[in-house]
Amino acid sequence: MELSKVTLEIFSKLEHKWLSHYETNNKTRILSIDGGGTTAIVAGASLIHLEDQIRLQSSDPQAHIADFFDIIAGTGIGAILAAMITAADAFGRPLYTARDSVRLITERNSELYKVKRSGLFRRCRRFSSRSMNNVLKQVFERKEENGRLLTLKDTCKPLLIPCFDLKSSAPFVFSRADASESPSFDFELWKVCRATSATPKHFRPFNFTSVDGNTSCSAVDGGLVMNNPTAAAVTHVLHNKRDFPSANGIEDLMVLSFGNGSLSAGASENSNRSTPSVVDIVLDGAFGLGTKKEMLKEMGLESLPFGGKRLLTETNGDRIESFVQRLVATGKTSTPSSPGKESAVTPLDNGR
C-alpha cells in the first residue's frame, strides 16, 4: 500500500527525532572548568545556573551536575570547584551541590587566600599555605567517618586535575582512573587541589606524596601548562576505552567549558586552548566581571582558532540552557561510579 505524503513526512520526522536522540545519547559528556583568579565569579555563576537548569529541565530537585556528566576536569580554583562537585559522601552521592561549593569558596575566600607579607620591608605579597591547607582539609573530609580525608578514589565521577611537577619538569595530571589502579597514584583531594593552586607568584612549590608514600611531587600551578584542561580531558577520554568505549573521536563528545573571565587570559596564552571543533560550548566570560546575574545576561563569546573571539547573539545564560536541553535529553550518565572498575591511564607526559 502506498503511503501518503503526510504519512511519509510524519515517519521522516519521527525517524530524525529518534536518530538525533540516539546520536546524542551515545556521546561522552565532559565538563571543564578553567583556572584563573581567586574568586571564580564567572565559573561559579555558570555552575550554579547549570545545576539549576538541570534540576528544572529534568524535573528532579535533587539532581547534581555529576549525574549528567561522564568526567569533570578543572585547573586552579576551577579544580577546587570540580573536586567539590564530584567528591562523594558515604553513600556515593555528591558531597556538595554547585551552590554549596560556590558559597563555601566565597565565604572562606579570605582564608583560602590569606595574604601575608614577606621579604625586605615586607613588600612581597604572598598567600598563607597553612591557611589554605586547613580550609581544604576541612572541605574534603567525611565527618561521618571521623573526619577521614577523601582521596581521588572517593569521587562519584571521574576527575581530572593538572599541575606542573618541578621534579620531572613535566605536567602531572591527577585522575581517578590512575588512583584506582594503584595507591601510588592515589592522592588526598585536598593535596590535589593545593597542588594545582600553587601559583609561583603567591605560593611556594607544594611538596607532597601519594597515599602510600611511593610517588612524590613538587607541584606548582596547573595553569602554567593547561589553564584550560579541556584538551587533557578529551585526550583522557579518547584513550580510555574501558570507561568510555563509545568515544572513538571528537564527534562522539559533548564538551562544556567554563572560563573564569579575563583574569585567566594571561595564563591562557601558554596553555592548551580548545578549538570550536572540539568544544560544543565555551563560556570564556571576558565580559562577565560584574555581578553573577550580569554575567549570565552578557552575550556569549565563541572561541575561534588562533585565539580569536566572536560575539554571539545568545546570552551566556541562554547557551547554558540550550546545552542542558541536550544534556537532559540523554538522561543521566552510566559511567561506572565505583573506582574499582576504572583502570585506564592517561597517556600524557610521565603517564599521569
> For the segment 130-150, what is each residue's pLDDT rounded down to a tens digit?
999 999 999 999 988 888 999
- What is the Cα–Cα distance from 30 to 236, expressed in whole angstroms? 11
Q: How confident is the model at residue 126 (pLDDT cuts 50, 70, 90)?
A: confident
Rg of the chain over Cα atoms, rounded to whole angstroms, equals 21
Beta strand 28-33 with 253-258 is parallel
Q: How far apart are the first and last CA of the chain?
A: 62
- The pTM is what? 0.80
- CA 339 to each of CA 70, 84, 97, 159, 293: distance values in angstroms, whole numbers, following the listed order: 13, 17, 21, 11, 37
- What is the Cα–Cα distance from 117 to 89, expressed in whole angstroms? 38
In three-state form (DSSP H/G/I as H, E/B as E, the rest C), the secondary structure along 19-86 is HHHHHHHCCEEEEEECCCCCCCHHHHHHHHHHHHHHHHHHCCCCCCHHHHCCEEEECCHHHHHHHHHH
Say whether pLDDT at 162 is over 70. yes
10 against 203, higher pLDDT: 203
Domains of the chain plus CATH, in order, are 25-262+276-330 (3.40.1090.10)
221 flagged as catalytic: yes
Q: Residue 97 corresponds to which cell in the numbers above? A: 551541590
Computed over every residue of the chain, the mean pLDDT equals 79
Lowest mean pLDDT, pick from 110-114, 161-165, 184-188, 291-295:
291-295
| pLDDT average, residue stretch 80-103 | 95
- What is the Cα–Cα distance from 58 to 244, expressed in whole angstroms? 24
Q: How many Cβ atoms from other residues are within 10 Å of residue 181's Cβ?
A: 16
Question: What pLDDT, on a 0 to 100 scale, did the predictor assign at position 53?
Answer: 96
Residue 130, SS3 per DSSP: helix
- Residue among 303, 225, 217 nearest 258 (CA): 303
Annotated active-site residue in 221, 243, 280, 284: 221
| pLDDT average, residue stretch 17-41 | 71
| pLDDT average, residue stretch 162-179 | 93
Lowest mean pLDDT, pick from 132-146, 201-215, 237-251, 311-325:
311-325
Reported for 295-299, long-range contacts at CB under 8 A and 24+ positions apart, including other chains, are 295/41, 295/42, 295/45, 295/46, 296/45, 296/46, 296/49, 296/320
Residue 142, SS3 per DSSP: strand
- Residue among 157, 87, 69, 126 nearest 333 (CA): 69
Lowest mean pLDDT, pick from 278-287, 294-303, 337-346:
337-346
Q: Residue 218 corresponds to which cell in the numbers above? A: 613538587
Give percent of the chain with pLDDT exceeding 90: 48
182 against 330, higher pLDDT: 182
- What is the Cα–Cα distance from 286 to 48, expressed in whole angstroms? 18
313 burial class (0-12, 13-18, 19+ CB within 10 angstroms)?
exposed
Q: Residue 266 corresponds to which cell in the numbers above? A: 594571561
Beta strand 299-304 with 308-315 is antiparallel
75 burial class (0-12, 13-18, 19+ CB within 10 angstroms)?
buried
Contact assessment for residue 300 and residue 316, using Cβ atoms and an 8 Å cutoff: yes
Establish how many alpha carbons lie within 13 A of residue 313's alpha carbon, considering only the half-sphere containing its beta carbon. Answer: 0
- What is the Cα–Cα distance from 72 to 200, expressed in whole angstroms? 25
Say whether pLDDT at 274 is over 70. no
Question: What pLDDT, on a 0 to 100 scale, did the predictor assign at position 202?
Answer: 82
Contact assessment for residue 153 and residue 337, using Cβ atoms and an 8 Å cutoff: no
